[in-house]
């Protein structure tokens, strides 16, 4: 099955990483994959645009079917391979409700991280304001405190919806991303615990970004949060 799948991806992109974790969890190793460079603009290449008209990575195919939105690909793979590998949507209504809720909130976390980390990329110079970046940082800090509160029982091995689930698949790459960009483990201890507890989960270790962006510029952008 995995042989009929192909993934165009970029290193260090949380959306790409989500799909890769899901493929590992569902025992779909052996899919074709090709690493492209954001810095060289390869996500806007013809090769990508033919699969993903948005010119974004991931660009994912299963046979002739295309599912490019990372969370959509996770849902699709879980549904198509429900009984293969690990179940990522729990059975109990309470855990199921929490899984869906945290998956979707995870996309808000992604947006708020991007609004700080990529502030300069998102706005032309003449539209940037110190007050805007400051507000985005405050909003992100409030957001991260919310996630800190969601992880009260993480030390006991309870993740975002209890057992490891699609919520963790979607959110963990954002959390790793935040620490990569300087988030303080002292001020976000539950998130730090979550980060380190799941770091060695086989699906996550196997898909860990190999170089995680060539440049080290901006790696302390979240340190004062």
Cα gap 70→91, rounded to integer Å: 23
> At closest approach, how far in Å is the CB of 132 from its own copies?
5
Interaction of residue 126 with its own copies, rule CB under 8 A: yes
Interaction of residue 81 with its own copies, rule CB under 8 A: no
Interaction of residue 131 with its own copies, rule CB under 8 A: yes
Interaction of residue 170 with its own copies, rule CB under 8 A: no
- Please give the structure tokens belonging to residue 47: 């090769």
Contact partners, residue 120, CB within 8 Å, separation at least 6: 128
Number of residues that bind its own copies (CB under 8 A): 37
Q: Which helix (H) or strand (E) holds 120?
A: helix 119-122
Which residue lies nearer to its own copies by CB, 9 or 75? Answer: 75
- Please give the structure tokens belonging to residue 109: 């976390």
Which residue lies nearer to its own copies by CB, 153 or 196? Answer: 153
Q: Where in the chain does DSSP place strands (E)? A: 5-10, 32-36, 59-62, 65-66
β-pairing, 5-10 vs 59-62, is: antiparallel
Q: Which of 97, 155, 185, 214: binder of its own copies (CB under 8 A)?
A: 97
Binding site for its own copies (CB under 8 A): 53-54, 62, 64-73, 75-76, 79-80, 89, 93-94, 96-97, 100-101, 103-105, 107, 111, 123-124, 126-127, 129, 131-132, 146
């Amino acid at each position: 099955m995995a042989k009929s799948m192909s993934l165009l991806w970029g290193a260090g992109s949380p959306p790409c990483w989500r799909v890769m974790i899901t493929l590992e969890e569902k025992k779909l190793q052996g899919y074709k994959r090709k690493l492209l460079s954001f810095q060289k603009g390869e996500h806007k290449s013809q090769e990508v645009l033919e699969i993903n008209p948005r010119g974004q990575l991931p660009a994912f195919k299963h046979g002739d079917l295309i599912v490019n939105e990372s969370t959509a690909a996770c849902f699709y793979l879980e549904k198509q391979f429900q009984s293969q590998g690990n179940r990522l949507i729990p059975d109990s209504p309470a855990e199921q409700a929490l899984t869906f809720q945290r998956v979707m909130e995870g996309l808000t976390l992604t947006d708020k991280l991007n609004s700080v980390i990529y502030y300069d990329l998102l706005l032309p110079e003449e539209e940037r304001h110190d007050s805007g970046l400051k507000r985005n940082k405050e909003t992100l800090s409030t957001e991260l405190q919310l996630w800190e509160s969601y992880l009260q029982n993480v030390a006991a091995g309870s993740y975002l919806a209890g057992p490891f689930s699609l919520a963790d698949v979607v959110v963990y790459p954002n959390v790793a991303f935040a620490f990569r960009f300087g988030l303080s483990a002292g001020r976000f201890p539950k998130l730090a615990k979550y980060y380190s507890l799941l770091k060695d989960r086989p699906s996550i270790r196997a898909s860990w970004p190999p170089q995680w962006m060539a440049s080290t510029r901006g790696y302390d952008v979240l340190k004062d949060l």
